[in-house]
């Protein structure tokens, strides 16, 4: 399978290059970066510490989509609509790990999914996918008087909060309770807030150091508590999941998919 990578010059992009190169049945179709990036013109393999692969990093995103069976995107929400349009135009599956998407980006993905497979996940970690499924099942099983709190911590450079993964966990809890997260979420607390509303789904965000990503979902009842947690110890887990998702898209029809589908948990 020919897999392309947009934003290949960054830390995540280099991990994706290495993962594609080491994955049986996968070929690196191309790598792009933004205009002016220092990595443009370099051999992708050399940049990723693998040695020459014969794939130069370019700025021609359209050519990348034309040459690929699937493209993996962990870049910026501002370019998601462009990538979605290119995916539809060139009949290329798109794997989206970018978080913080606005309404325009989501709409562009929805339109592209009418023509090609669009696999979107706020976290490509297989462990987080399982955590999300567990959260939904536990929320479905417990009464509404069990309080739900989602706690996440990431490195000091992360720009969005709560994290996309934390919000996805909140959505899972809301699905389990058959409620709308927007109606139940408490995303910040400060000052004299009064007692906790019954049924609320709370979020707590921490930033600092080089933490890759820690997520915990706490179900707090009277006299007992259930903690479900995932701690990322290497960013490689995201690359492994993303390449697996790209290969899973081979032969799939148009539509919107998630990592739940990749693991067969949505059946």
CATH of domain 126-231: 3.30.360.10
pLDDT digits (tens, 9 = 90+) for 172-190: 999 999 999 999 999 999 9
Same topology between domain 2-124+235-262 and domain 126-231: no
Q: Which of 83, 90, 158, 230 is catalytic?
A: 158
Q: What CA–CA distance (Å, rounded) separates 33 from 31?
A: 7
Q: Catalytic site residue 83?
A: no
pLDDT in tens, 114-170: 999 999 998 888 899 999 999 999 999 999 999 999 999 999 999 889 998 999 999
The confidence score (pLDDT) of residue 205 equals 96
Mean pLDDT confidence for 65-91: 96
* Homologous superfamily of the 2-124+235-262 domain (CATH): NAD(P)-binding Rossmann-like Domain (3.40.50.720)
Q: Which residues pair with 4 in a beta bridge?
A: 30, 71
Distance between first and last Cα of the chain: 25
The one catalytic residue in 83, 154, 215, 230 is 154
Residue 231 annotated in active site: no
Which burial class, exposed, middle or buried, applies to 4 when counting CB atoms under 10 A from its CB (0-12, 13-18, 19+)? Answer: buried
Question: What ranges do the domains of the chain cover?
Answer: 2-124+235-262, 126-231
**d(C-alpha 223, C-alpha 1), whole Å:** 53
Q: How far is CA 57 from CA 76, 87, 145, 161, 245, in A?
A: 18, 19, 54, 31, 23
The pLDDT of residue 267:
53
- DSSP, res 160: S
pLDDT for position 235: 84
Across the range 52-72, mean pLDDT stands at 96
Task: Tell me which residue of 113, 112, 83, 78 sits closest to 5, measured CA to CA.
Answer: 83
Q: Please state the rounded mean pLDDT for residues 203-209.
A: 96
- pLDDT: which is higher, 2 or 125: 2
């Amino acid at each position: 399978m020919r897999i392309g990578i947009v934003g290949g010059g960054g830390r995540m992009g280099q991990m994706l290059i290495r993962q594609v190169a080491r994955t049986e049945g996968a070929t690196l179709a191309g790598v792009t970066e933004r205009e002016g990036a220092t990595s443009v013109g370099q051999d992708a393999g050399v940049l990723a510490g693998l040695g020459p692969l014969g794939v130069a990093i370019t700025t021609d995103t359209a050519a990348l989509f034309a040459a690929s069976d699937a493209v993996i995107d962990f870049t910026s929400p501002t370019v998601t609509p462009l990538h979605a349009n290119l995916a539809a135009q060139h009949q290329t599956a798109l794997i989206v790990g970018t978080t913080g998407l606005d309404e325009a980006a989501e709409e562009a993905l929805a339109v592209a999914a009418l023509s090609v497979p669009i696999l979107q996940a706020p976290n490509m970690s297989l462990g987080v996918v399982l955590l999300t499924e567990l959260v939904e099942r536990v929320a479905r099983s417990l009464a509404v008087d069990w309080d739900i709190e989602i706690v996440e911590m990431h490195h000091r450079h992360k720009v969005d909060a709560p994290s996309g993964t934390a919000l996805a966990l909140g959505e899972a809890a809301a699905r389990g309770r058959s409620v709308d997260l927007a109606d139940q979420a408490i995303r910040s607390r400060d000052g004299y807030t009064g007692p906790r509303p019954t049924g609320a789904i709370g979020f707590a965000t921490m930033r600092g150091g080089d933490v890759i990503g820690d997520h915990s979902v706490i179900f707090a009842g009277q006299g007992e508590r259930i903690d479900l947690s995932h701690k990322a110890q290497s960013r490689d887990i995201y690359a492994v999941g993303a390449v697996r998702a790209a290969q899973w898209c081979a032969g799939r029809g148009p539509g919107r998919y998630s990592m739940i589908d990749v693991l067969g948990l949505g059946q």
